[in-house]
Amino acid sequence: MRLFVALELPAGHRAALEGVCEEGRRGGVRWVPAANVHLTLKFLGEVEETLLPEIEAALAAVASEAAPFSLSLAGGGCFPSPRSPRVVWVGVGAGAEEAAALAAAVDRALRPLGFSREKRRFRAHLTIGRPKGGKESAASAADKIEHLRGFEAPAEAAEVLALVKSTLTPEGAVYDVLARLPLGAD
């Protein structure tokens, strides 16, 4: 099964993103439904089901040692560049450092289970769309990205670490949360 570890978004952030994603439904970008938007901390890839209890235990230990924190959303952009965007994203304002520390703790906790150390620097962002390809898509994405630069959602408490199963379908990814682990819970 294909898994990743994420920070669940507060309800207010999902509501703010609904407007952004709905507004962009037209054009050459496949927008992520707001209910599926999350802050990925670590992508695990294909994982044997037998490893689930150990992964959950490692993540529970990380969650119990981390405190809930304020998270705000600010700005937006694309990766790798506006000329050839592959991912449209919304940025994290307040809470970016805490999210990076949580991602590092998840990375450290999962290494003994055989998961590779992250080589890239963590960049706190929420993927909200992927251009479909072609010049029309790039133009549509560029227009949307320009509007995202001023996007803001006020700070709310980020409180839950999640282990998520991702199933790829022609209509997009389907997510199933396998474990919700409250931050700071013993």
Q: What is the CATH number of the domain that holds 35?
A: 3.90.1140.10
User: 120: domain range?
Assistant: 2-182
Q: Which of 13, 14, 42, 125 is catalytic?
A: 125
Of 18-27, 80-89, 154-163, the one with minimum mean pLDDT is 18-27
Do residues 62 and 106 touch, judged by C-beta distance below 8 A?
yes
Average pLDDT of the chain is 88
% of the chain at pLDDT higher than 70: 90
Query: Model confidence at 7, in pLDDT bands (50, 70, 90)?
Result: very high
Looking at the predicted structure, is the pLDDT value of residue 31 above 90? no
Rg (CA), the chain: 16
Exposure b/e, 66-100, CB count within 10 A at least 16 = b:
beebebbbbbbbbeeeeeebeebbbbbbbbbebbb
Query: Model confidence at 26, in pLDDT bands (50, 70, 90)?
Result: low
Q: Which of 14, 29, 34, 38 is catalytic?
A: 38
Q: Catalytic annotation on 147?
A: no
In the prediction, which pLDDT does 157 show? 96
What does the angle CA 145 – CA 90 – CA 22 come to, to the nearest 5 degrees?
Answer: 70
Looking at the predicted structure, is the pLDDT value of residue 145 above 80? no
Do residues 49 and 176 touch, judged by C-beta distance below 8 A?
no
Question: What pTM does this model have?
Answer: 0.89
In the prediction, which pLDDT does 137 show? 58
Looking at the predicted structure, is the pLDDT value of residue 172 above 80? no
Looking at the predicted structure, is the pLDDT value of residue 185 above 60? yes
Number of domains in the chain: 1
Residue 185 parent element (H or E): none
Q: Catalytic annotation on 13?
A: no
Amino acid identity of residue 79, one-letter, is: F
In the prediction, which pLDDT does 141 show? 66
The span from the CA of 85 to the CA of 82, in Å, is: 5
